Amino acid sequence: MTVTIWHNPRCSKSRQTLELLKSNGVEPAIREYLKAPPSKAEVEKLVALVGGDPRELIRDGEAEFKALKLKKADLTKAQIVDAIAAHPVLLQRPIVVTGARAAIGRPPEAVLPLLK
C-alpha cells in the first residue's frame, strides 16, 4: 500500500502525523506541497478522496484567505479548488492519501483508519 502525506514541516500537526505514521511502520512518500504546489486537478482529486464537506480542506485563518475576501460558509467546491490551487498555503494539513481514500490529520489519529 502506497501512503502519501501532504506535508508542511513547519506545522506541528503535520509533523505529529508523520511521526504517527512512522510509529505504525509506515514510511510514507512525502509531498511538501508548498515546495511543489498542486495542480488544480490534484486539488480536485484530494477533495474527492477526502470526501465530506470540501470546506474542511481550506484554511480560513491564513492571511491569503483574508486577502481573497471570501467567506468560508459561502464557498463552492470549485472556488475552494481554485483558491487552494492558486494559494497552496490554504490547503488544510496534513492530508494522508492511501489508494482511493484520504483523511485530514486533525487530530493526527484521524488518519489511522486509512492504515487498515
pLDDT by residue (tens digit) across 40-69? 999 999 999 999 999 999 999 999 999 999
CATH at residue 53: 3.40.30.10
Which sign does the torsion angle of CA 40, 54, 105, 91 carry? positive
Structural domain including 16 reads 3-115
Kindly report the pTM of this predicted structure: 0.94
Q: For residues 99 and 5, which has the higher predicted lDDT (pLDDT)?
A: 5
Instruction: State the total domains in the chain.
Output: 1
Give the pLDDT confidence score for residue 108 in this predicted structure: 97
pLDDT mean over 8-13: 96
φ/ψ (deg, to 5) at 95 = -120, 130
- Choosing from 3, 4, 11, 62, the catalytic residue is 11
Whether residue 1 lies in the annotated active site: no
Give the pLDDT confidence score for residue 1 in this predicted structure: 82
Cβ neighbours of residue 15 under 8 Å, at least 6 residues apart?
A: 9
pLDDT by residue (tens digit) across 76-107? 999 999 999 999 999 999 999 999 999 999 99
